[in-house]
Amino acid sequence: SCPKWAAKIDDSSICVNPTMKATDKANICAVTCAFEIKPTSDCALYTVTGTTLKRGTPSNRTTGNGTPVASGAVDPTTLLSRAFAAPGCTVSLYSVAAPVPPANRVATFTGTTTNQFFTVPAAVNGAPSYTCTC
């Protein structure tokens, strides 16, 4: 059941559910939610294609620590759903594929010790690029 729960695109998606603690995720779906329980990167974006939620790559901050990279969104078929930012890191979404930050920034999500998973608002879920700074 874990892969099905993890692929849900609403707040019941177990791995990226903002109200579930890592210990609860580990008790229920330790293998499926391994990244979300103990992240191995600084930032990540999750996309939805049809009804399937998927964590995209790249998911580490870029070498230039703020260099824009492709988000994985291909509007209107693949859209951003969630963002992950490790504590002290910020994910910024941009409305153009090759922005010169901070121009064209449409959303930011900053991770804290208590909040690392964020829902991407529908108004910006087609953003073609993002940065990860820590």
Domain ranges of the chain: 39-133
Helices (H), the chain: 2-7, 22-29, 34-37
Does the domain at 39-133 match CATH 2.60.20? Answer given as yes
State residue 59's pLDDT score. 64
Which two three-digit tokens encode residue 90? 């910020």
The pLDDT of residue 51: 80
The CA distances from residue 80 to 18, 22, 31, 113, in Å, are 16, 22, 23, 23
- Write down the pTM of the prediction: 0.86
Do residues 34 and 65 make contact, with C-beta atoms less than 8 angstroms apart? no
**Residue 124: helix, strand or coil by DSSP?**
helix
pLDDT string in tens for the chain (134-residue length): 788 877 776 666 788 877 788 898 899 889 988 888 888 888 999 998 888 888 886 566 655 667 888 999 998 999 999 999 999 999 999 999 999 888 999 999 999 998 898 999 999 999 999 999 88
Q: What pLDDT sits at residue 11?
A: 60
